[in-house]
Amino acid sequence: MDDKIILYGADWCPDCHRSRDLLDSLKIKYTYFDIDSDSKIKNKMLEITNNLNVIPTIILPDGQILQEPSNKELLKALNLSDVSNNQDNQTVHDLIIIGAGPASLSAAVYTTRERIETLILEKAVIGGMAAVTDMIDNYPGFEEGVSGLELSEHLEKQAERFGAKIEYNEVKSINLKSSGLKTVQLIDNQELVAKAVLIATGSDYKKVNVPGEVEYLSKGVHYCATCDGAFYRDRKIAVIGGGNSAIQEALFLTRFASHIDLIVRSTLKASDVLIERINQLVDEGKITIHLDTVPLSFNGDGKMISSLSLQNNKTNNKFELVVDGIFVFVGLDPNSKFLKSSDVRLDDRGFIITNENLQTNIDGVFAAGDIRSGATMQIASAVGEGATAALKIRQYLED
Amino acid sequence: MLKGVTIFTTNTCAYCHMVKKYLNIKGVSFEEINLDENPHRRSEALELSGALTVPVTVVTRKDDTKEIIVGYNLAKLAPALI
């Protein structure tokens, strides 16, 4: 039945593109006639429409003639009105990318160069976690390292140079149940529609979940050294965590703090280069490392932090350190809460499960970067995944 | 009606960068107090926000009432600028 649909239109006609985009996205076959290409075509259309010169004119297999239909009217005529109840004359984006970190921006560079219209939605900071990282030492191509903010700005400008659009908004939920078009709901109740969606929302620093952590947020408890480190000039602070992020951030904080206590649950798990650097600072007396140690509580006077209570895992010895601030870097949590009500399959930690094409369990919905189950949490990997996802999305849109 | 907007920032703070970018997109002029360059004004930011963090955005209206927005919080910043 599909191949008997006839659509009369013209290249200059936006509504014709809208109707064609809708049919294409639903993979419904039709025959397209450009009325400007041949006067016989236009005359044929006028004959069918009783001289009503309106495009798009769409002839359905059952003989229905639709002229300049809204998307809703077209879907209704095709008995597909349940595909989405909010597609009336709405722009159908080729691709919506949720998140604007390295995976997203790198995907956008590829898609926009391929003329795939791309809208990026970001609720917080362009560059994501990379942007709030002081110095990135292991991103290829920068022999002296590069600041996270600078790298993010370059990625953003590059994506925008090819035509990517970035909108500052937050996604509330997504409706991916339907075949064909995907609907993205924003917190301001706007609804956006796209043929494909790339989820690249990354991750955020985990909390340690001890008493005082929430109470003293930004009042001595912090998760962003580049944002809040400057408040601790010549002050004593504690950094919690023993991985690459914790060590990198502790090194950054030595610019400000007079002394840092590094609280590590087991042993240091950072790269050898970082461990070497931190050991130099230990020798200089600037940093003290407490291995096998966990925080029990963050304490203060109700207004600001004044100390933290700790316990050694091996000896069970409890002790307290007097500090002015605590910076927490104990791992990452996925930014996938908005997917809870969707059918996108997540692993038991909330990261998105994809196949080898970086596609989720739902056709046309892809994931890349830190949000993806099994991701290596490296900026270089995220950039690579963004590029891969873009190429797979191109293939999906062409099929 | 707005009388003025002041932002407390630091050089390395990506969220500060985002607030400035947002204000520029909206065509709102602002005064920036960079705490790396003016460390003596850190206590001022703390007093206004009650928090040791940046960005702190101070929106002053014509009637001299102030709204303090801590962090990059579009849900609070956008309506404050109306």
**pLDDT tens sequence across A349-369:** 999 999 999 999 999 999 999
Q: Which residue of B has its CA nearest to A151?
A: B14
Give the model's pLDDT for residue A81. Answer: 60
Q: In which element (H, E) is residue A382 found? A: helix A379-398
Which residues of B are less than 8 Å from A148 in CB distance?
A: 14
Closest CA to A308 of A326, A329, A290, A291: A326
* 3-class secondary structure, A141: coil
CA A213 to chain centre: 26
Distance CA A261, CA A176 (A): 47
Pairwise CB contact (< 8 Å): A222 & B53: yes
Q: Amino acid identity of A331?
A: G
d(CA A128, CA A371): 12
Q: In angstroms, how far is the first alpha carbon of chain A from the final one?
A: 19
Looking at the DSSP assignment, which residues form a beta bridge with residue A276? none
Q: Which pLDDT score, from 0 to 100, does residue B20 have?
A: 92
Decide: helix, strand or coil at residue A243. Answer: coil
> How far apart, in whole angstroms, are the C-alpha atoms of residue B71 and residue B15?
7
Expressed in angstroms, the distance from the first to the final Cα of chain B is 7
Q: Is A152 on the interface with B (CB under 8 A)?
A: yes
Residues of B in contact with A228 (CB under 8 A): 52-54
Which pair of tokens denotes residue B49? 């926000």
How far is it, in rounded angstroms, from Cα A1 to Cα A299? 71
> Could you list the pLDDT tens digit for every one of the 399 residues in chain A?
456 899 999 888 878 888 887 887 777 889 999 998 888 999 999 999 888 888 999 999 888 999 988 887 888 888 876 555 545 557 889 999 999 999 999 999 999 999 999 999 998 888 988 888 888 888 999 999 998 889 999 999 999 999 999 998 889 999 876 567 899 999 878 899 999 999 999 998 899 999 999 999 989 999 989 888 989 999 999 999 999 989 999 999 999 999 999 999 999 999 999 999 999 999 999 999 999 999 999 999 999 999 999 999 999 999 999 999 999 999 889 999 999 888 999 999 999 999 999 999 999 999 999 999 999 989 999 999 999 999 999 999 987
- Burial of A215: CB neighbours in 10 Å, binned 0-12, 13-18, 19+: middle
Chain B residues with CB inside 8 Å of A303's CB? 50
Question: What's the gap between Cα A63 and its chain centre?
Answer: 45
Interfacial residues of B (vs A; Cβ cutoff 8 Å)? 10, 12-18, 21-22, 35-36, 39, 42, 46, 50-54, 70-72, 74-75
Distance CA A266, CA A263 (A): 9
* Contact at CB, A123 and B12, closer than 8 angstroms: no
Flag if B18 and A126 touch (Cβ within 8 Å): yes
Write down the ipTM of this complex: 0.77
Within a 10 A sphere around the Cβ of A217, how many other Cβ atoms? 15
Shortest Cα distance from A376 to chain B (angstroms)? 23
In the prediction, which pLDDT does A1 show? 46
| A168 vs B contacts (CB less than 8 Å) | 22, 74
CB A202 within 8 A of CB A370: yes
Check if A229 contacts B (Cβ < 8 Å).
Answer: yes
**Quick check: B17 and A125 CB within 8 A?**
yes
Closest Cα partner for A233 from A325, A329, A128?
Answer: A325
pLDDT of residue A237: 98
Q: Is A346 left (phi over 0), alpha (psi -120 to 50) or beta?
A: beta
Task: Give the tokens for residue B53.
Answer: 């963090």
Q: What is the pLDDT of residue A319?
A: 97
The model's pTM:
0.72
